[in-house]
Copies of this chain bind each other. A is one copy, B any other.
Amino acid sequence: MDNLYTLSEIADKRFSNGEEIPQNIIDGVKKITSSGGFIGMAQINPIAGNVEYNAKKIAKYIKYACKIGLDMVVFPELALMGYPIEDTIDRHPIIVEENIKWLKGLAKITAGTTALVGFVEPRKKDAEGKKYFNSVAILKGGKIVGIVRKSLLPTYSEFNDYRYIEPSPVVGVQPAETLGVFDRGCESGCLKIFEKYGISICEDCWNNKEFFDKHLYEKDPIEELAAENPEIFINCSASPTRAKKEQLKHNMLSFLAHKYKTPIVYVNQVGAIDNSSFDGSSRVFGADGELIARAKSFEEQFLIVNPTKKIGKIYPLTKGLDKSLNEQKVFTLEYESDLERTYKTIVQGIRDYFKKCGFKRAVLGLSGGLDSTVCAVLLADAIGKENVFGVSMPSHITSKESKSDAEKLAHNLGINFTEASIRPMIDTTTECLDKLFKTVETKWDGRYKTSFTPDNIQARSRAMFLWGISNEFASCIPIATSDKSELYMGYATINGDMSGGFAPIADVPKTKLFAFARWMNENREEKNAIPEAIILKKPGAELAIDPKTGKPLIAEDALMPYEFLDEIIWRVENKNEGYQDLLNTEFVYEKHNTISREQKTEWLDKFFRRMSTALYKWSILPPSVIVESRSINKYDYRQPITSGKINYKGVEDEYVSGVLADE
């Protein structure tokens, strides 16, 4: 079957360039697929709500599928609308009407090939529950011949399906009497045709009672579908990448195929929508649970397979997607295995955010530190080096090395670079503020003896420069360079380094960034773009002088060792550990550093105190890419800002009795 995939790759390239597929390719593929039983997996990258854009893309693939005589072409969940679409369909129902219009149009261009197209299905006006179903339409012979509706609606992490979607009580192709709400052309008579396929949508296949220890739902749609003995399972999905999720997905799909002795065709969305980056990696497992085919990760692809005859091609999975499940049980500094996935997740996240919003260029401050360095590399790779402008903005504290490291980096990357001193800004602002503070002081007490004002003036002056460039030059946004460790500690300046149009590394902890920088130096085409000095230096904001050393303050001295901090974050996020758990178990850091219980207590206290006051900063963080299995992205995790006074330590029973007796 090598020839099929050689031809397909040529076709894919033509698709991505918007070119016609030449007749000889069509003929070549058709020769192979004409024997029947072939399915096209259309792993597409939609734009949320841009129904016309998505429909055009879908139309191209449907036409191609018809030309090469496929039995079926399968698109991801909500392919016409893009997933997630969120509350948009509630406030702007026009786009649902539009998606029906385009769906009907797409039905008309199908011929002998069946197309499965995800769309938002409006329910009857007087129906109980939410206004919409998350559905897949079965298009054939110019008509909508059947509908499948999602039953299990995720409402955790970045998912909010149940906010706007009604769960379907019926799995598989819907009974005739529920059809026809929006399309009188639906033909009830032809439903039986689809008994061959057990069709489900995304979460529907994630609730097997044998495979999972914990079940979020009572219903198991796949179990129900299996009872009807379909020849092939098909799952239309939109499942974003998260650390350590892929192995689970692989095992689960393989388990389902094997358990029900039925091949499964899983078609996933690719591309990023706001904070969620979808990896694609669509695949097919045979009836014995064996992997038959797998599409590329982080790329659009049209993969032709024959699940019954076990014809397919397994493209390599991005490293990290295949990470073993065992590793997720303990914190480790061994990030290596997840770095390729991290890289592609973020690069795709940046690229799609820019493209889908209509931005072309980015400007960022280059401090010579790790955060801005990693951001610069990612940006260069995502939107092109010519579209990135790095600005070194030294103050009186900035060292010569910082400036030269930044310049060296820019040179290595080939991005645009300039230097602009913020000293005049600092001088003027400081002078103005000194005067202002003196007036305020006549009315208000509580002026700090030492404050962060001078630090913040620097960070904000820099943001003023970057936003200035963004305002002055077309199609350009500034970049927020805050990392995850520092966001947890609130160690980021409002209207300063945490401000921007996009925050590429907001979900990457600092210790991972070090490994990430080294990985990029080794794995990018241009080796060692990041100067070694940047990776070796101790992180610090270079905003203040440490009175103890007379040198710029090192972040770890102001906070705590990053290794320790990152393990707290990991354990709180992945293991739900509380203060006492953390205090009473050994950290990786402690294996090679002796620290007193007092020191550990001090760091833990600082972590919970600073995290509590950082909640506000999380709420105003620019759009970013979710990378890890759990994040602080406001659309992934929400905690009331006013809950800052939570007692994370807990109290003793005796304390409770005492307090309540006193009230």
B50 touching A645, Cβ below 8 Å:
yes
Mark out the residues of chain A between 447 and 493 whose CB falls within 8 Å of any chain B CB in the assembled complex: 447-448, 451-453, 456-457, 460, 463-465, 467-469, 471-476
A653 to B108, CA, bound (A): 12
Mark out the residues of chain A between 566 and 584 whose CB falls within 8 Å of any chain B CB in the assembled complex: 572-573, 576, 578-579
A50 touching B424, Cβ below 8 Å:
no
B contact residues around A48 at 8 Å (CB): 640, 642-643
B86 touching A639, Cβ below 8 Å:
yes
A50 touching B647, Cβ below 8 Å:
yes
B436 touching A465, Cβ below 8 Å:
yes
A129 touching B436, Cβ below 8 Å:
no
Q: Residue A641 at the B interface, CB < 8 A?
A: yes
Q: Residue A589 at the B interface, CB < 8 A?
A: no
B645 touching A501, Cβ below 8 Å:
no
Task: Flag A433-457 by CB within 8 Å of B: 1 or 0 each.
Answer: 1011101100110111001110011
Q: Residue A525 at the B interface, CB < 8 A?
A: no
Q: Residue A224 at the B interface, CB < 8 A?
A: no
Q: A91-B576, A465-B436, A474-B446 are in contact. Are A642 and B273 (CB under 8 A)?
A: yes
Mark out the residues of chain A between 60 and 107 whose CB falls within 8 Å of any chain B CB in the assembled complex: 60, 63, 82, 84-88, 90-95, 97-98, 101-102, 104-106
B contact residues around A474 at 8 Å (CB): 446-448
Q: A620-B620, A634-B634 are in contact. Are A644 and B358 (CB under 8 A)?
A: yes
Q: A389-B440, A463-B495 are in contact. Are A91 and B573 (CB under 8 A)?
A: yes
Task: Flag A588-605 by CB within 8 Å of B: 1 or 0 each.
Answer: 000000000000000000
Q: Residue A236 at the B interface, CB < 8 A?
A: no
A660 touching B473, Cβ below 8 Å:
no
A623 touching B619, Cβ below 8 Å:
yes
Shortest Cβ distance from residue A35 to the other chain B in the assembled complex, whole angstroms? 28
B424 touching A431, Cβ below 8 Å:
yes
B contact residues around A643 at 8 Å (CB): 47-50, 82, 85, 88
B473 touching A467, Cβ below 8 Å:
no
B446 touching A473, Cβ below 8 Å:
yes
A217 to B215, CA, bound (A): 22
B457 touching A468, Cβ below 8 Å:
yes
Shortest Cβ distance from residue A57 to the other chain B in the assembled complex, whole angstroms? 8
Q: A439-B418, A621-B620, A659-B56 are in contact. Are A130 and B216 (CB under 8 A)?
A: yes
Q: Across the two chains, which residue of chain B brings its CB closest to A125? A: B214
Task: Flag A631-660 by CB within 8 Å of B: 1 or 0 each.
Answer: 000110111111111111011010011011
A460 touching B464, Cβ below 8 Å:
yes
A259 to B234, CA, bound (A): 49
Q: Across the two chains, which residue of chain B brings its CB closest to A465? A: B436
A335 to B161, CA, bound (A): 35
A84 to B638, CA, bound (A): 10
Per a CB cutoff under 8 Å, which of B428, B473, B653 touches A424?
A: B428
Per a CB cutoff under 8 Å, which of B448, B463, B472, B647 touches A473?
A: B448
B495 touching A473, Cβ below 8 Å:
no
Q: A660-B59, A663-B56 are in contact. Are A495 and B471 (CB under 8 A)?
A: no
Shortest Cβ distance from residue A277 to the other chain B in the assembled complex, whole angstroms? 12
Per a CB cutoff under 8 Å, which of B443, B495, B501, B639 touches A91?
A: B639
A448 touching B472, Cβ below 8 Å:
yes
Q: Across the two chains, which residue of chain B brings its CB closest to A468? A: B433
**Segment among A286-294, A349-357, A506-514 that sits at the interface with chain B:** A349-357
How many copies of this chain sit in the oligomeric assembly?
A: 2
Shortest Cβ distance from residue A651 to the other chain B in the assembled complex, whole angstroms? 7
Per a CB cutoff under 8 Å, which of B432, B494, B576 touches A499?
A: B494
A656 to B247, CA, bound (A): 41
A623 to B637, CA, bound (A): 16
Q: Residue A2 at the B interface, CB < 8 A?
A: no
Q: A108-B657, A464-B460, A468-B436 are in contact. Are A641 and B129 (CB under 8 A)?
A: no
B contact residues around A578 at 8 Å (CB): 92-94
Q: Residue A557 at the B interface, CB < 8 A?
A: no
Shortest Cβ distance from residue A110 to the other chain B in the assembled complex, whole angstroms? 11
Q: Residue A412 at the B interface, CB < 8 A?
A: no
B467 touching A456, Cβ below 8 Å:
yes
Shortest Cβ distance from residue A39 to the other chain B in the assembled complex, whole angstroms? 21
A451 to B474, CA, bound (A): 10
B contact residues around A663 at 8 Å (CB): 56, 59-60, 63
A106 touching B660, Cβ below 8 Å:
yes
B contact residues around A622 at 8 Å (CB): 616, 619-620
Q: Residue A52 at the B interface, CB < 8 A?
A: yes
Shortest Cβ distance from residue A517 to the other chain B in the assembled complex, whole angstroms? 25
A92 to B651, CA, bound (A): 15
Most chain B beta-carbon contacts within 10 A, residue among A87, A464, A623: A464
Q: Residue A361 at the B interface, CB < 8 A?
A: yes
Per a CB cutoff under 8 Å, which of B391, B476, B641 touches A274?
A: B641
Q: Across the two chains, which residue of chain B brings its CB closest to A81? A: B643
A576 to B90, CA, bound (A): 8
B contact residues around A273 at 8 Å (CB): 640, 642
The 4 A-B pairs at the shortest CB distance, nearest first, are namely A446-B474, A49-B643, A356-B642, A94-B578
Q: What 20 new A-B contacts, CB under 8 Å, besides A102-B660, A620-B621?
A: A48-B640, A50-B645, A56-B659, A59-B660, A88-B640, A91-B576, A95-B648, A101-B651, A106-B660, A128-B217, A155-B162, A353-B641, A356-B642, A356-B644, A425-B428, A447-B472, A447-B474, A448-B472, A457-B468, A619-B623
Q: 27 pairs across A/B with beta carbons < 8 Å?
A: A48-B643, A50-B647, A91-B637, A93-B576, A94-B648, A98-B651, A102-B660, A106-B660, A108-B657, A108-B660, A126-B213, A353-B641, A356-B642, A356-B645, A357-B616, A416-B443, A444-B473, A444-B476, A446-B475, A447-B473, A452-B471, A453-B468, A453-B471, A456-B468, A460-B464, A494-B499, A501-B616
